[in-house]
Amino acid sequence: MEILYEDNHIIIVNKAPGEIVQGDKTGDEPLVETLKHWIKEKYSKPGNVFCGVVHRLDRPVGGVVVFAKTSKALARMNEMFRDGKVDKTYLALSRNHPPKDSERLTGYIYSVEKNNKSYISSTPRNGAKEAALSYRYLGASDRYHLLEVNLETGRKHQIRVQLSSIGCPVKGDLKYGDKRSNPDGSISLQAHRVRFEHPVSGKLIDVAAPLPADPLWQAFVGIVSENDAKASVSADADGSVAVQNGDI
């Protein structure tokens, strides 16, 4: 478990693909419980330890996850996510070049519980929720293309289904149309960066996860580093946190 940031109120973790954030029917220990044990041991805390789940990532997805260490921080972070005051940036690898170098994708997403899969429609339909994201093409390696994605809404499997809808399924994501699975069961989608005003102090929190060690990701280290630096300069000049919300 890699801790990216910690203070008295929040803790930000680099979730590994395969880990679950909250408990599910598999019975596997969720990341929130692992964190509670870690906090209890590190600070020799007696009794129960508080650690609140602020948002989630799909099991095969890795990257930045924010947890709250106090009830005050949890309530305020929940409000910030709900009100779109958290900027979350994702990176995705695909075998295919997107149809445009940048685009805003919209549609209506609905989920089928039986097969744990989401679907997208271009028109409203019963049970479907409006979904929107924007992507930007960052570059290519010998075999794969790198996209930066920002969510405007947080629907189940949103990035996965919307990228698939334009012919760019995430590498390793068999559920949404990729050709082959990744050896470790992950999909090549990372919650790369998070920016928000601290729920208690108000200072700007800007945390990015390192790219996975997989050579396919490491081929993009230079591109990602340059892009992150430009994003930091742009955000500092603007003096605000971009409006994003939701989970993938």
Catalytic (active-site) positions: 58
Residue 206 is given by DSSP the state E
| β 62-68/189-197 pair status | parallel
Only one residue has tokens 């949890």, namely: 74
Query: What span, in angstroms and rounded, lies between the C-alpha atoms of 90 and 163?
Result: 12
Residue whose C-alpha is closest to residue 126's, from 109, 114, 139, 142: 109
* Residue 129 bridge partners (DSSP): 109
Residue whose C-alpha is closest to residue 32's, from 15, 7, 46, 8: 15
- Alpha-carbon distances of 55 from 5, 151, 181, 194, rounded to whole Å: 16, 14, 26, 12
Neighbours of 58 (CB within 10 A): 20
State the first-to-last Cα distance of the chain, in angstroms, to the nearest integer: 21
